[in-house]
Structure 1
Amino acid sequence: MSDAIAGKPSNAKAFSGFFWMMTLGIIARVAGFLTQMILSRILSQNDFGEIGLAYTVITVATMASNFGVDDVLVQRGKQLGLWASTGLIISFVLGLIGAVAIIVAAPIAATYYHIPRISDILLIASVTLPITALATPALAKLRQDLRFRSVSAITGVEILVTSCATILLAKLGFGALSFVLPVPFTIAGRVIAYWVLAPVPLTRFRFRLVPRIFGRSLAVWAHRVVVTLISQADYVLLGLMTTTEKVGYYYFAFRLANQPLMIMANSLQSILFPLLTQHQRDEKRQLRILLRVLSAVNFVVMPVCFLQATAAPWLVPLFFGDKWAPAVILVEILTLGLCVEAAAWQAGALLSARGNFVATFKYTFLLSLMFVPFIVLGYHLAGVTGVAYGVAAYYLISSAAFTYLALRKDSVTLKSVAYLYGIPASISFVTAAVGRVVGNYVVDQAGYFAAIAAAGLVGLPVYLLLWRSFGRDSFDMIFEKVTGRLGKFFRK
């Protein structure tokens, strides 16, 4: 492993955290895929459309009530205990405000989308916000101590329990409500587990810290609100312009394309942010760590995305049924468009670690101005498929642009950013093209499953060879650490 990352116990913990978060990502990806596969055969396109539209309200209210108090607490270091009680009460009050906002918005959303059941979905979901807020100090402590193995284990159990409960409720006929009914209970379990593993002494509420917490977290909150509005604007506009069934196809495709990327992006950022925070006085070291991570993320994520897009014409009908065939083109477009997002999030971790929250918000806001024009133009040109093209184009452009803006003060050139994204994308494209050719040859003779297997078996060695040739540093870093970790596991 590079000197940029190796050499300190905290960095060893960070890679251990990376390993466990990657494991969590795989578990979550498999669980999410299996859950969606089963639900797609039980629920209708309208059910998927209803939950997709309901989440436009849930997600916005959640982020609007999340002022980034957790990040502020992580940055407090050894003073966490002094800030914990104040941070907890502020988070809980904000959670209550968010819950009330969802309750008030429920009948309005039901009228706007012409779907009465959305009101019931939102009322149930509102309960989760104040419950989630109760974990704030304990989670900050776990992140501060780089105890990502514990966080991964808890999250993995939560995902599996939620998935099983959702499937059971769907089978019992609860429809779109199946997605939200288990969530308050699994979140409550997560909160209890965090506090058992990382109890934080609570002292009296300190009013003098309130302005400091809000002052530090206001820019974080503004950034999160912008990101959330972007993530939901396409659903809001589709809910206005097209049918619930077509929204269901789009939600299904976006969920399939985006789920693994969001899991990886969140997981990696939760590791990278506290790690970079520990090197606040050494900005050159921060940059070296970040560039290594960006390269590794792109070389790991992009081939998965390209191969998923390649296999979509076989994967969707095989695992989800022919009724989801109209979503195939949407899965292909969105998967390719979102493949750069995971790395861009890590560039934001550098700005956060340096306390440049205002810069993060400014860059995100300026780039967000492209989003609505892209999807409106796309819809008028090609309907829902055009929206997918607009969303993909936005993420491709904005992710690369945000990375450059975040790193330009460190003398990272546009050419370097193009290299970070261009090389992994190029070899992923070659791998995907080879996989598509092989799969198309096999599918007519042996069926969908054989086509997917053939594309993967042929594509994987091709990609590894190209990765080793054009990204040797990141290849050696990942190979060395993964094989070392697996060796220790099997020796035990």
Structure 2
Amino acid sequence: MEPKPSLKKKTIGGLFWSFGDLIGNQGIQFLIQIILARLLLPEHFGLIGMILVFIALSNSLVDSGFTQALIRERNASQADYSTVFYFNLFVSLLIYGVLFVAAPGISRFFAEPQLVSLVRVLSIGIVINAFAVIPKAMFAKEVNFKAQAKVNLTASILSGIVAVGLAVTGYGVWSLVLRQLSMNAIQSLLFTLSKKWLPSLVFSIASFKRLFGFGWKLLVSGLIDTFYTNVYFLIIGRQYSASQLGYYTNASRFSEIVSQNLAVTILRVTYPVLSSIQDEHERLKQSYKNITKLTAFLIFPVMVGMAAVGEPLVLLVFGEKWLPMVPYFQLLSIAGMLYPILALDLSILQVKGRSDLYLLLEIINKISLTILLVLAVWLELGVIGLIAAAILNTYLEFFINSHFSKREVAYPAAEKVRDLLPVYLVSFLMGGAVWMFGTLLETSLLLQLLLQISAGILFYIAVCRIVGVTELKTVYNLILSIFDKIK
């Protein structure tokens, strides 16, 4: 069923600015990351990696699932927004106090004395972020990503300038800390000024109970997911050196530029749009199916292609001293292939109001990952073994998520596999061809990379056209729609 013009226009407009945000914001951040990687040492990134799990869990606690609850709420009131704001601010201050006191214990756990001051300063960002939660939720609810794109781009540029300046003048790991804090501060300030929203002097118990009733399950599942997303930093930081964690940290961020950031971009547009048609069952299913197929069409070849050109890409971008991160980057790219599909499966449960199933799936999937991680550590398989466990678990999650999500939207795993298998196979076929082509080239790294990428794009488009992958035409029409919008 074709979407209504208003819904289609809203989705295309949201995608345009959301992808603009991705390309501009992440492009700037990636450029800054490259500059800092060349100025700093792997152990500097490793020290920050040790703290990431605590910061990420804290930010999830501050949100408390309220953001998604507000977006899903059809008629959120000023009392709703004000209640969530005050609760978020209170929780952020409480968490900062806990981390301030816990900093020496964290330092002893990793046997890194520097972590005491690093944790206490970097944690300030948790409080700063609490001021931006409501304006961001309002923009997302309106599918207004133009404003968010402008804010994020400005914050990335200014914080990047701060970080590079500090790195050049010898501030080492502190350049990374102050980069994050300045980005948090600029984003919060600009979001508040852009939305021109201020809380009222009201805290509604009724609003809190209603929103928290939906959001608490998302909070718990979000905490579980955040912990396991960052558990690798915890294990590697504890078991291995700061340098190895530094290699893993940059490999993880490098691979996530496409998988997780593109997934977040798609989800933050599709979630409010799909929420608006949550009661139109057939239309919802078709939209969900189309989004899933289109996401796979875009992300599968990019992730496989990144793995195929991993070595020349890392050498060209980061330099010789980062060569040990190549196998980590290649495996993490493969692991990230299914991440957007898994996120869409969980998102549809939120759309249907099944935060209970969302939580159940997080628990089931993380139990399976725990078993695999324990086996990898017990068998002493090293960092490679830990990443291999993540790859295996993504496939287990795919079938588990599909089994439960089909209860809400009739899109079972068998049908989903049939839809995704052509693109999956073509992507790996393309990746193999690109890797082999690279082994035959004897030229500069830049030229080799450009030739491999060009060959991969042409190969993928040609094979997709031969086997009749319909998403090729969908992307073509989407591009035409975006150009029409620009005009």
Normalised by the length of structure 1, the TM-score is 0.93
Match status 1:219 vs 2:230: no
Cα deviation code 1:373-393 (max 9, x no counterpart): 323333434311211212222
> Which of 232, 235, 240 in structure 1 is aligned with 2:233?
235
Secondary structure of the residue aligned to 2:309 is helix
- 1:303 to partner: Cα distance: 1.0
Alpha carbons 1:277, 1:353 under 8 Å: kept: yes
Alpha carbons 2:258, 2:299 under 8 Å: kept: no
State the match for 2:321 in structure 1: 323
Please tell me the residue identity of whatever aligns with 1:221: L
State the match for 1:106 in structure 2: 103
Please tell me the residue identity of whatever aligns with 2:384: T
Distance 1:41 1:79 in 2: 47
State the match for 1:478 in structure 2: 475
- 1:279 to partner: Cα distance: 0.9
State the match for 1:169 in structure 2: 166
Distance 2:46 2:366 in 1: 24
Cα deviation code 1:232-284 (max 9, x no counterpart): 21221222222222112211211111232221122211111111111122122
Name stretches of at least 5 consecutive residues in structure 1 with no aligned partner.
none
Normalised by the length of structure 2, the TM-score is 0.94
Cα deviation code 1:334-370 (max 9, x no counterpart): 1011111012212222111111111111011101112
Cα deviation code 1:101-127 (max 9, x no counterpart): 221221111110011112222112221
- 1:26 to partner: Cα distance: 2.1
Distance 2:261 2:468 in 1: 24
Alpha carbons 1:142, 1:148 under 8 Å: kept: yes
Match status 1:160 vs 2:160: no
- 1:61 to partner: Cα distance: 2.0
Distance 2:75 2:305 in 1: 45
Distance 1:136 1:320 in 2: 34
- 1:488 to partner: Cα distance: 4.5
Alpha carbons 1:286, 1:350 under 8 Å: kept: no
Distance 1:471 1:38 in 2: 42
State the match for 1:94 in structure 2: 91
Name stretches of at least 5 consecutive residues in structure 2 with no aligned partner.
none
State the match for 2:331 in structure 1: 333
Alpha carbons 2:258, 2:303 under 8 Å: kept: no
Relative distance call for 1:152 and 1:202 in structure 2 (3 A) is same
State the match for 2:308 in structure 1: 310
Distance 1:10 1:73 in 2: 20
State the match for 2:362 in structure 1: 364
After TM superposition, the structure 1 = structure 2 runs for residues 236-385 of structure 1, keeping only pairs within 5 Å, are 236-379=234-377, 380-385=379-384
Match status 1:192 vs 2:186: no
- 1:408 to partner: Cα distance: 4.3
Match status 1:45 vs 2:46: no
Match status 1:208 vs 2:211: no
Distance 1:430 1:351 in 2: 33
Alpha carbons 1:314, 1:452 under 8 Å: kept: yes
Alpha carbons 1:46, 1:248 under 8 Å: kept: yes
State the match for 1:24 in structure 2: 21
Alpha carbons 1:72, 1:213 under 8 Å: kept: yes
**Runs of at least 4 residues of structure 1 off by over 4 A?**
none
> Which of 121, 126, 151 in structure 2 is aligned with 1:124?
121
> Which of 460, 463, 469 in structure 2 is aligned with 1:463?
460
What is the RMSD computed on CA atoms of the aligned residues?
Answer: 2.0
Distance 1:438 1:202 in 2: 58
> Which of 444, 449, 464 in structure 1 is aligned with 2:446?
449
Cα deviation code 1:16-59 (max 9, x no counterpart): 11122122222244323322322222111211111111112211
Distance 2:108 2:124 in 1: 22
Cα deviation code 1:145-189 (max 9, x no counterpart): 111121122222222323332222222222222222133333232
**Number of residue pairs matched?**
485
Distance 2:272 2:485 in 1: 26
Relative distance call for 1:158 and 1:419 in structure 2 (3 A) is farther
Alpha carbons 2:422, 2:469 under 8 Å: kept: no
